[in-house]
Amino acid sequence: MSLRYALIALLTGRPMTGYDISKSFSRSVAHVWHAPDSQIYPELNRMERDGLLDSVEVPWGKKGTKKEYHVTDAGLTTFRKWMEAPLVPQRQRDPAHLKAAYYDFAAPEAVREQLRQQQAYWEEHLAMLEGTRATLVDRSHPTLAARIAKLDEHEAELTVRFKIYAYDGLIARARTELAWIEDGFALLDEMYDS
């Protein structure tokens, strides 16, 4: 359900074709709400059917056209209502933590390998988040740059600061995951002699 809010959020920046949405989404909103293209395209259709988005045909290639989506007034109202509604806390649901509680059922080498894979993932993810954050700070992120082009400086500052705030939360989490993985290696070393 939140995917539609994530898509409205993106499209409040500027109207986009489905292809632009998919490309831009993966470099921005996906960091806070991951979704594959296989969910995005059908959701855009449903959102247009439900009146949250509207589309116009824009030229594409030599003779073709493409749908460019924009947020309708109804879409913006729906989004604002959701933004101001109470936040429902998401209960814990992470296989890494489920497994961690029962790693006594697995061979230590298998555990070590999974910790290594998790570590590689989080290191890469952290670097990506920090890189993206830097493009928000200097306002060079293309999605953000297009969004703030039509804003005055005070509005632009507000837009940018909240985005940086969101990334600071993601970066802090990634660092915590990495420290926790280190603790996992230390626990293996302590409990199994090699």
Q: Which residues bind ligand VNL (CB under 6 A)?
A: 10, 13, 28-29, 31-32, 132, 136, 141, 143-144, 147, 163, 166
Nearest residue (CB) to ligand VNL, 53 versus 111: 53
Nearer to ligand VNL, 78 or 132 (CB): 132
Q: Which is nearer to ligand VNL, 28 or 114 (CB)?
A: 28
Whether residue 86 contacts residue 156, with contact meaning beta carbons closer than 8 Å, is answered with no
Residue 37 to residues 20, 69, 172, Cα–Cα distance (Å)? 11, 16, 28
If one counts every other C-beta atom within 10 angstroms of the C-beta of residue 67, the result is 18
Question: Closest separation between CB of residue 74 and ligand VNL, Å?
Answer: 20
Q: What are phi and psi of 72, to 5 degrees?
A: -85, 170
Q: At which residue do the structure tokens 């989490």 appear? A: 173
Instruction: Show the CA angle centred on residue 45, arms to residues 31 and 52, nearest 5°.
Output: 80
Q: Whose Cβ is closer to ligand VNL: residue 122's or residue 167's? A: 167
Report, in Å, the least distance between residue 148 CB and ligand VNL: 8
Residue 20, CA distances (Å) to 10, 15, 68, 72, 143 in order: 11, 9, 9, 18, 10
Report in angstroms the alpha-carbon separations of 145 from 49, 141, 157, 186.
30, 6, 12, 44
| Closer residue to ligand VNL in complex, CB, 114/132 | 132
If we measure between CA atoms, which residue out of 57, 76, 56, 80 comes closest to residue 11?
A: 76
Query: What CA–CA distance (Å, rounded) separates 56 from 11?
Result: 14
Closest distance of CB 104 from ligand VNL, Å: 39
Measured from the CB atom, the residue of 166 and 171 that comes closer to ligand VNL is: 166
